[in-house]
Structure 1
Amino acid sequence: MSSNPGQISPLRPVTRHITGHNDAGRAVIHSTTPGNWQSFEESAMAFNVVYTSQFPADLNNEADIKQHEQVEQKGQLGLVNPGGTVCRIVDFAPNNHAVVHRTQSLDYGVVLEGEIEMILEDSEPVIMKRGDVAVQRATMHGWRNPSETEWARLLFVLQDCQKLSVGGKELGEDLGVATGVLAPSGN
């Protein structure tokens, strides 16, 4: 098991390095912190929110850092940051139960470790391998680690999007079985 507090998977711990500028305008490290993990589905998956930002980001006077710290302190972040972005790492236990859901967002999902099965409503599941990228466009979807023994890790960047209508029907966030477990995004 990991020695990183809160991390449930045996995968390598994650460290976040935030950069900034000194008074002379030169690049420096602002802060370095270990991942902050939150367990879900009886430890079948864990979320680590790396960073949040409004879009476009305001980097002046560390406004983005202050905004991110406020989001963390409130503890009410849904899957999507309304009017902004979220960078999140998710670890999936072997043979986890897929939580099928829809976010009102445009997401990039990158497989960092292991393999993951992307499940959609009317398509055959797709096995994604390390380095593969999903561009998830506000669809009902789920993620399942098909391995019986190995953990999988994905990096997600979610960005709020305009309301989506298909066939005259507005499609919004749908947390599925995670309703009441995950905070709604409110976008």
Structure 2
Amino acid sequence: MDNTDNRPPNPTQASPLPGLTTHITTNSPHDGKAVIHSSKPAQWTHLFNSTMAFNLIYTNTVPPNVNTLDDVEAHEHLVESGGPGLTVSGGTVCRIVDFGPSAEPVMHRTQSLDFGVVLEGAVELILDGGEGERRLCRRGDVVVQRGTNHAWKNVTPNDGWARMLFVLQASEKITAGEKSLEEDVEHAGEEGDRLKQKM
């Protein structure tokens, strides 16, 4: 086994964290045995003066059809055309996000059910319910984000970078009582537009 900490960053990566590779599997149409379809290094999109970076891993519809390579081709076409927004209507998005030590927390809500896993460093979850609605998340911690307004703050010691894995599944319209809670990334300004359109 190689020492994964020695993996050099990807060519498009801003952080000093280990580089990443996405491996996609499929079933052989000849005998049904599992095989590797492709292995590709991560491609990063930088935001907020390169203090934050997104690596789009995969997108798909729900439920996915994995009997052909149509889903792989649809994902590749989506990436080539600029990528999805933060979510995919009627589908899922899997991405990894690197947060630099000076990355500003961006309050936002997506119309989705999200799973956020801390892979490197430490991150503070900030909710808009007040000071008591914050949680320190360390490597291995998981946040199940149920359509709530939230932000992530990198609190890794020694000005280190943090890395999180996110899986976002499109949800039904979000409400609280009679109030409709809309998707919102407006607080991010111009970069908010990029978050909505090209991640």
Question: If the TM-score is normalised by the length of the shorter chain, which range does it land in?
Answer: over 0.9
TM-score by length of 1: 0.93
Paired position in structure 2 for 1:146: 155
User: Counterpart in 1 of 2:176?
Assistant: 166
Residue in structure 2 matched with residue 17 of structure 1 by the alignment: 23
Give the total of aligned pairs. 184
Question: What's 2:34 paired with?
Answer: 27
TM-score normalised by structure 2 residue count: 0.88
Structure 2 gaps, min length 5: 1-7
Distance in 1 of aligned mates of 2:174 and 2:22? 33
Structure 2 distance, partners of 1:95, 1:145, is: 8
Bigger Cα displacement from structure 2, 88-97 vs 28-37: 88-97
- 8 A Cα contact 1:76 1:183, kept in partner: no
- Match of 1:183, SS state, is helix
Partner Cα distance (1:106, 1:183) in 2: 16
1:44 aligns with 2:57: no
On the 8 A contact 1:99/1:176 being kept in 2, the answer is no
**CA distance in structure 2 between the aligned counterparts of 1:35 and 1:163, rounded to whole angstroms:** 32
- Aligned partner of 1:129: which letter? R
Give 2:93's aligned amino acid.
V
Aligned match of 1:4: 10
Unaligned 5+ segments in structure 1 are none
Query: How much is the aligned-residue C-alpha RMSD, in angstroms?
Result: 1.5
State the Cα deviation string for residues 100-134 of structure 1 (Å, max 9, x = none): 10000000000000000101001432110000000
1:132 corresponds to 2:141: yes
Q: Higher helix fraction: Structure 1 or Structure 2?
A: 2
- Displacement of 1:6 in angstroms is 1.2
For 1:155 and 1:76, how far apart are their aligned partners in 2? 17
Taking the aligned partners of 1:46 and 1:54, their CA distance within structure 2 comes to 24
